[in-house]
Structure 1
Amino acid sequence: MTTNEHAERFTLLRPLLFTIVYEMLGSATESDDVLQDSYLRWAEVDLATVRDTKSYLARVVTRQALNALRASARRREDYVGPWLPEPLPLDEHDASADVVLAESVSMAMLVLLETLTPDERAVFVLREVFDFNHHDIAAAVGKPVATVRKVAHRAREHVQARRKRFQPADAATTAQITEQFMTAAATGDLEGLLSLLAQDATWTADSGGKATAARRPVMGAEKVAAFLVNLFRTGQGIPDQRIEVVNCNNTPAIVAYRGNHLEGVFLIEIIDGKITNFYVIRNPDKLLAVTVPRQVSR
């Protein structure tokens, strides 16, 4: 077997492998590191011993991702303010046709997955999103099959009890609500904003202490609307500021620039025709990969 065949097999499965790792870590940059390290290990494998390339590579990246996940969990104990996953820019129609994939990369789901243990998260992602069998998952996480079945059941119950029913709006509705929001926010239309927000709308900002942002979530439609009016009014006085609307994590996202400097990404979650959550990433360390659209797959 040649090095070229190693590369061809890995490249073919890279979107799937990236998606597995990203859903485990919530970080595109860390996922790239895991995939690079995993490829170096894969390049040393005798392909004649590989029965199923997909399962084999999923096992390799899962083990590396678990190591990274446990290390990052320790670092987050000292994190300043709320921690949010790294935004993932997608091609406009990348995940929209696959409802399971779209939900699995949504910011809301990634935030929910943060409440699982590393093993629970790995098992849930491999089983519920990618439909690997319990034997392959057991090999990936280094646990007996019986244990994996129990972990899978526990993780599934945990997620189902805490997630909102995922009802993605169609593209036209999403675009309309996003446009209405942008107009209301830019003109300081408080009543217009209130009409777009769910009563329990929440603004959560992640700065890591490295940028200006609310250190605690802003909760409730009235408080969020007032916060937005003030934020946009302040922003209008900043020279060279511009914004773009892109697709991150299969939801509308406002990308704010000051000149050529990326200031932040604001993801808008829309459920049942109302904006329910704003996820705001201002930590510059989490904005490094925002300009590079990714491909996800399962």
Structure 2
Amino acid sequence: MSDEVFEQQRGRMFGIAYRMLGTVTDAEEVLQDAWLRWQGVDHATVANPTGFLVTTVTNLCLNQLTSARARRETYIGEWLPEPVLTSRPGPLEVVAEREEVSYALLTVLERLTPPERAAYVLREAFGYSHREVAELIGTTEVNARQLHARARKHVAGEDTRSQPVDPKHWQTLVNRFLAAAHRGDLEGLTELLAADVVSRSDGGGVVTAARNPVVGADRVARYLLGSLTKFGTDVEFIFAEANGEPVMLASDPTGVRAVCFITFTADRIATLDLAMNPAKLRTVERQLTVA
């Protein structure tokens, strides 16, 4: 019975952990720790198993975020969340909540304090009341309201809510971008980029990637042409869906090389987030092997 209760809540627990921590690996570690703690209590004394498990996961995440922040201070280059395919079987099964796992939102959540992040995730993604949030994170209802209000204000100040995207139109625009890049057409590529376009790459110091955001049409165009040259000629580009939005996967015979999140404004590329750290591509590769 205890196993059944845990499995029933696994999706909710993973959803909380992934949104709070930003990587599948960290979320899975939290679930493993939560399982061990669940096995170590007398279940007959737990009046609300769901509450116990969610509280356990939330507090484990808060502890993890403290150490994660220290690790990210020494992280080489840009730190981006780990992408998860939402068009295939995987840990994020609740497609209805896809907006709350958008790549842009997860990136913004990184800038919140751990308590603010917990309050935002529990309230916005899972609908807990302020009183319930307070109980889950061990604070007062008044403070939980304040944490949530600060988090919402910060998120509202960022462009995290993507407009509805027509996948076919998105693919058409990306194909134009790829065609110009393959031709080495710097001028044509620059014309497809917004003047204030921003490109961020997460290589984690393992693969070659820009260590700081690249800003501006000319600089981004030159950077992207150079990056494609380094990829080689055997790279295949595949359209998919990750974190509830269309993405482009770059792969070669060795596996997935990058997951590219591309947003457009007035049919010009506004942002490019390139997840390239091999450690953050393992989940995507696992999902691609599932029939």
Of the structure 1 ranges 114-123 and 8-17, higher mean CA displacement relative to structure 2 is found in: 8-17
In the other structure, the counterpart of 1:132 is 128
Q: Show the 5 A alignment for 1:51-70.
A: 51-70=47-66
Work out which of the residue numbers 199, 217, 220 in structure 1 matches 2:216.
Answer: 220
Q: What per-residue deviation string (whole Å, max 9, x for no partner) do you get for residues 185-208 of structure 1?
A: 223344543444333211101122
From 68, 73, 86, the counterpart of 1:72: 68
Which residue of 9, 16, 28 corresponds with 1:13? 9
CA distance in 2, matches of 1:262, 1:195: 28
Q: CA separation in 2, counterparts of 1:272 and 1:57?
A: 45
Whether 1:108 and 2:111 are equivalent positions in the alignment is: no
Aligned to 1:87: 83
Q: Distance in 1 between matches of 2:3 and 2:277?
A: 34
Question: What amino acid maps onto 1:83 in structure 2?
Answer: W
Q: Does 1:24 align with 2:20?
A: yes
Asked whether 1:253 is paired with 2:265, we answer no
- CA shift digits 1:77-126 (9 cap, x unpaired): 1111111111222226978963xx33321111111111100010000111
Contact between 1:203 and 1:219, CA under 8 Å: does it hold in 2? yes
Residue 276 of structure 1 pairs with residue 254 of structure 2: no
SS at match of 1:291: helix
Output the CA distance in 1 between the equivalents of 2:194 and 2:93.
25
Distance 1:48 1:207, change over 3 A: same
1:168/1:271 contact within 8 Å kept: no
In the aligned structure 1, how far is the partner of 2:68 from the partner of 2:106? 15
What is the Cα deviation at residue 266 of structure 1?
Answer: 2.2
When residues 45 and 163 of structure 1 are mapped into structure 2, their CA distance, relative to the original with a 3 A threshold, is farther
Alpha-carbon distance in 1 for matches of 2:153, 2:77: 28
Residues 243, 38 of structure 1: alpha-carbon distance in 2 compared, 3 angstrom cutoff? same
Are the structure 2 counterparts of residues 11 and 275 from structure 1 closer, same or farther at C-alpha, using a change threshold of 3 Å? farther
What is the identity, as a one-letter code, of the residue corresponding to 1:247?
Answer: E
What SS does the aligned partner of 1:111 have?
helix
* Residue matched to 2:227: 231
Distance verdict in 2 for CA 1:13–1:95, change over 3 Å: closer
Closer, same or farther in 2 for the Cα pair 1:97/1:178, shift >3 Å? farther
Separation in structure 2 between the aligned mates of residue 72 and residue 113 of structure 1, nearest angstrom: 13
Q: Give the aligned partner of residue 242 of structure 1.
A: 236
**Corresponding residue of 1:210:** 206
Q: Secondary structure, in 3 states, of the residue corresponding to 1:290?
A: helix
Report the alpha carbon displacement of residue 45 of structure 1 after superposing the two structures with TM: 4.3
Deviation string for 1:12-36 (max 9, x for gaps)? 3322221211110000111111112
Q: What number of residue pairs does the alignment pair up?
A: 286
8 Å contact 1:55–1:136 — kept in the other structure?
A: no
* Corresponding position of 2:140: 144
Counterparts of 2:50 and 2:170, CA distance in 1: 35
Residue 166 and residue 255 in structure 1: after superposition, are their counterparts in 2 closer, same or farther (change >3 A)? closer
Secondary structure of the residue aligned to 1:162 is coil
Amino acid at match of 1:290: V
Give the partner amino acid of 1:255: L
- Unaligned 5+ residue runs, structure 2? none
1:152 partner amino acid = H
Contact conserved, 1:252 with 1:269, CA < 8 A, in 2? no
Cα deviation, residue 271, structure 1? 4.9
Are residues 250 and 275 of structure 1, via their aligned partners in 2, closer, same or farther at CA, if it must alter by over 3 Å? farther
The 8 Å contact of residues 38 and 61 in structure 1, kept in 2 or not, is answered as yes
Instruction: Compare relative contact order (CA 8 Å, sep 6+) and give the higher one, 1 or 2.
Output: 1
Separation in 1, partners of 2:94, 2:55? 27
Cα distance in 1 for partners of 2:51, 2:130 equals: 12
